[in-house]
Amino acid sequence: MIMKVSLITKVFPEGEKVCAAVIEYPVEIDGWKLSTDQFSVKVKTGDTYSSRTITKVYANNSGDISFSIFSNRGKFVILELSPKDPNAGTLVSIPETFLNTRVKLNYIVSQLVPVVDVNGNTVEPFTAEQTGEKHLIIDDFLSFTFKDPETGIEIPYRLFVPEGTTDRKYPLVVFLHGAGERGTDNYLQLAGNRGAIVWAQPRYQVTHPCFVLAPQCPPNSSWSTLFTDRANPFNPEKPLLAVIKIIRKLLDEYNIDEDRIYITGLSMGGYGTWSAIMNFPDLFAAAIPICGGGDVSKVERIKDIPVWVFHAEDDPIVPVENSRTLVKKLSEIGGKVRYTEYEKGFMESHNWDPHWSWAPTYENQQVIEWLFEQSR
């Protein structure tokens, strides 16, 4: 018998991880007679293989992560894997460049002992390499590239389109990724964290259907002049100007509610978020800048834009004073600003780097609900 093996990935607050291996059999397997110790899943890292922890095993006919006590049988056997495994992630950081890259996934799955199909016949042990991948929610985003006719810059971008977009207008959430996700693969900006993915989750699409735009900044650039002008790091760079053009293009192409265009971003994208709303204040209905920085002299422009700012007190990369100064100035002029600062040690108590203040932010349902309450 020839078995096909594929992987399922999911984006967690820490980034994309392989969360399941799926074996496709030519016969229906009796899931009630399966156990985790009957299988082995190993991943190649460098020249060595290391084991993944199998947390659950069952059978179905969909090939999805979906267990039913009423029908634990099917041609697909799902091996759910622990996201806590140190080798679960798909991304690695390149220290010299501050860029992340996605590793080529090389998994080997073994059935160690005979298993039984629904007719009582035995399926002998086997070992097979994975040949395919399925990326939860990421695969629901369309893929495009925009070339700015004025500057010539090319911006890959992903777009999530909600179901039933012909009957009414829907909000648009724009996500600006951080420095690590710069590139040309049109993938990292979705896989690096949940900044884009969270809005496209089925549970939020039920209550808050929306478009989601996730552009990718070129490798040697930034959303703002953060890396090119230390004296004034807050002006928009060409990639951000291109994103504004993409937004206007989408307004012409889709049923997007012009009064409910939201923007959020983290780290480099936090700077980009501040720059976007300060330089194009008439475009956005609300913003969630995370561990970024902006031009204090321009806060008057965004006095009427609801902004919820997030930063960790002990952020080692972007000084928390950046957010504190902007929030203080906005508060003084009567701006519509909210501020959440994660106290020292909070991030590490959740096994997150102190810079990753986006991790708890995008997991906070109050933040989601607040954003969709805003209208220009």
Q: What is the pLDDT of residues 103-151, one digit of tens each?
A: 999 999 999 999 999 999 999 999 999 999 999 999 999 999 999 999 9
Residue 2 scores a pLDDT above 90: no
Residue 47 scores a pLDDT above 90: no
Cβ within 8 Å of residue 207, ≥6 positions away: none
Task: Tell me the pLDDT of the chain averaged across its residues.
Answer: 96
Phi, psi of 22 (to 5 degrees): -120, 125
Superfamily of domain 138-373: Alpha/Beta hydrolase fold, catalytic domain (3.40.50.1820)
Opening angle at CA 196, ends 191 and 198, nearest 5: 100
Q: How far apart are CA 19 and CA 64, in angstroms?
A: 11
- Per-residue pLDDT band at 284 (split at 50, 70, 90): very high
**Domain residue ranges of the chain, discontinuous segments joined by +:** 4-135, 138-373
Q: How far apart are CA 34 and CA 53, in angstroms?
A: 16
Residue 165 scores a pLDDT above 70: no
Average pLDDT over residues 372-376: 97
Higher-pLDDT residue of 259 and 233 is 259
- Per-residue pLDDT band at 333 (split at 50, 70, 90): very high
Length, in residues, of the chain: 376
Q: How far apart are CA 376 and CA 154, in angstroms?
A: 30
Three-class DSSP category at 97: coil
Strands (E), 103-249: 107-111, 115-116, 122-123, 126-129, 132-135, 142-147, 154-160, 170-176, 211-215
Class of domain 4-135: mainly beta
What is the per-residue pLDDT for 133?
97
* Predicted TM-score of the model (pTM): 0.96
Neighbours of 296 (CB within 10 A): 13
Residue 373 scores a pLDDT above 80: yes
What is the per-residue pLDDT for 94?
86
Q: How far apart are CA 309 and CA 233, in angstroms?
A: 19
Q: Residue 347: in which H helix or E strand, if any? A: helix 346-349
Q: How far apart are CA 300 and CA 329, in angstroms?
A: 9
Residue 268 scores a pLDDT above 80: yes
**Cβ distance 224 to 240 under 8 Å?**
yes
Q: How far apart are CA 337 and CA 287, in angstroms?
A: 10
Report strand pairing: 154-160 vs 211-215: antiparallel
Strands (E), 148-198: 154-160, 170-176
Neighbours of 76 (CB within 10 A): 21
Average pLDDT over residues 147-165: 93
What is the per-residue pLDDT for 98?
82
Average pLDDT over residues 155-167: 89
Average pLDDT over residues 304-313: 98
What is the per-residue pLDDT for 319?
97
Residue 166 scores a pLDDT above 80: no
Q: Which of 230-234, 290-294, 346-350, 364-368 has the lowest mean pLDDT?
A: 230-234
- Per-residue pLDDT band at 233 (split at 50, 70, 90): confident
CA distances to 82, 129, 130, 186, 320 from 7, rounded to whole Å, are: 13, 10, 7, 20, 39
Whether the domain at 4-135 and the domain at 138-373 fall into the same CATH topology = no
What is the per-residue pLDDT for 335?
97
**Cβ distance 57 to 39 under 8 Å?**
yes
Average pLDDT over residues 349-358: 96
